[in-house]
Structure 1
Amino acid sequence: MPSHWVDKDLLPCVTASVCDISSQHDRDNLVAVVRDLFHNQLHILVNNVGQSLHKPNADTTSDDYSRLMATNLLAHLVHMSSVASFIAYLALSLYSLTKGGLIPLTKCLVAKWVPHLAPHLHRPAPKRTMAT
């Protein structure tokens, strides 16, 4: 651990919270927990939220669209995009749209907030999880 963290009482504090990021109620509760836990001094928030949809375009429903937009395009400070934002995957068009949308969103946030706050964008490759 860097000594300047100890000198400035910046000991790392890592927590995890479970919420449905597409639910306004859950997001509001998460914000309240974060404010309370960190005394309004949160410096980094990593958005590692994402949901995929393996479906032909013709079979994609408005509910599918709404769910992925709500899950994948909410504004955060560290955005987890995907390689699918610039590589064509046959059954991932809606997922690619939502993850690709993080690119201009992040650029706009950088233009607005730098040097006070610097949003970042990462584009990891797919990884199988219980949700996929």
Structure 2
Amino acid sequence: MSDNFYGLRGKVAVVTGAAGDIGAATVKLLLDHGANVIAQDINPAVNQLELHQRVVPVINDVRDEYSAQHTIQLAKDAFGQLDILVNNAGRTLNKPALETTVDEWDTLMAINARGYFLHAREALKAMMPRAQGSIVNVASIVSRIGLKQTAAYAASKGAIAQLTKVLALEAGEHNIRVNAVAPGVVETNILSGMVADSRATLASFGHLHALGRVAQPEEIAEVIIWLASPKASFVTGAVLMADGGFTAQ
């Protein structure tokens, strides 16, 4: 396969939540295919990505309007343009609705919904003058189906799915595509601090998927960069289920 198979060589991407498992896998794939990356995360571990000359890490909070403006401007300052935004930063919560506090609800909506909106809005401002660009939002199967103990998380991911569709309609006339990927269960560290072994806990849900296993972060990253790339040039407004057959049931 050509090293420019996806047509990403020289493209400039912003990836939020870049220190997490899916974010880091996405950054690596973008770099492998020749892109330049602004890697954002609130976790200082994102600075480890600076070891690569085509990565500029930035530590900030996706909930903050100025931070979104700063991150997008950094892409233009560092690499001259912005071609791709991957909205990936997120937080989960597994609690019954009756036990979910207002603070927990507001935190998830701020990170998972407002953060995506702010970065998409600023990215569109940078992309529209050039009449090109692609935004990929990371949603979840709970943007489409209901699961117990996910009230706040599902609401935030549902917001992302609808935001994706509206932005696709508004950005289409500017030749900008907006899509979402909706993963099933992915073996990551997202439950760290909630359970003793996040990866093992998540892997245990493999039997709920038609393929009999959960996803690896790299598999979701492959879907993300396909949606971001010119290979998906006629795909916009889609919420692509990368869920191992979970929602086919």
The answer, yes or no, to whether TM exceeds 0.5 is yes
Aligned match of 1:71: 111
- Structure 2 Cα separation of the partners of residues 27 and 96 of structure 1: 23
Aligned match of 2:90: 50
Q: Secondary structure at the match of 1:65?
A: helix
- Report the alpha carbon displacement of residue 23 of structure 1 after superposing the two structures with TM: 2.8
Amino acid across the alignment from 1:12: A
Q: Is the counterpart of residue 124 in structure 1 residue 183 in structure 2?
A: yes
- Structure 2 Cα separation of the partners of residues 101 and 69 of structure 1: 9
Q: Is the counterpart of residue 105 in structure 1 residue 163 in structure 2?
A: yes
The 5 Å alignment of 1:19-34 reads 19-34=60-75
Query: Any stretches of 5+ residues in structure 2 without a counterpart?
Result: 12-33, 42-59, 121-134, 192-249
- Structure 1 Cα separation of the partners of residues 145 and 139 of structure 2: 12
Identity %: 28
Q: Conserved in 1, the CA contact under 8 Å of 2:61 and 2:67? A: yes
Q: Is the counterpart of residue 38 in structure 1 residue 73 in structure 2?
A: no
Q: Which has the higher strand share?
A: 2
- Structure 2 Cα separation of the partners of residues 9 and 44 of structure 1: 11
- Report the alpha carbon displacement of residue 46 of structure 1 after superposing the two structures with TM: 0.7
Aligned match of 2:16: none
Q: Which has the higher helix share?
A: 2
- Structure 1 Cα separation of the partners of residues 152 and 10 of structure 2: 44
- Structure 2 Cα separation of the partners of residues 128 and 33 of structure 1: 31
Q: Conserved in 1, the CA contact under 8 Å of 2:36 and 2:79? A: no
Amino acid across the alignment from 2:164: T
- Structure 2 Cα separation of the partners of residues 9 and 68 of structure 1: 34
Q: Secondary structure at the match of 1:118?
A: strand
RMSD: 2.3
TM-score by length of 1: 0.82
Q: C-alpha offsets along residues 20-62 of structure 1, whole Å, 9 cap, x if unaligned?
A: 21233433332232221122x1111111122111111111111
- Report the alpha carbon displacement of residue 82 of structure 1 after superposing the two structures with TM: 0.2
Amino acid across the alignment from 1:89: L
Aligned match of 1:2: 4
- Report the alpha carbon displacement of residue 80 of structure 1 after superposing the two structures with TM: 0.8
Aligned match of 1:17: 40
- Structure 1 Cα separation of the partners of residues 155 and 171 of structure 2: 24
Q: How many residues align?
A: 128
TM-score by length of 2: 0.46
The 5 Å alignment of 1:88-99 reads 88-99=146-157
Which one has more relative contact order, counting CA pairs under 8 Å at least 6 apart?
A: 1
Q: Secondary structure at the match of 2:40?
A: coil
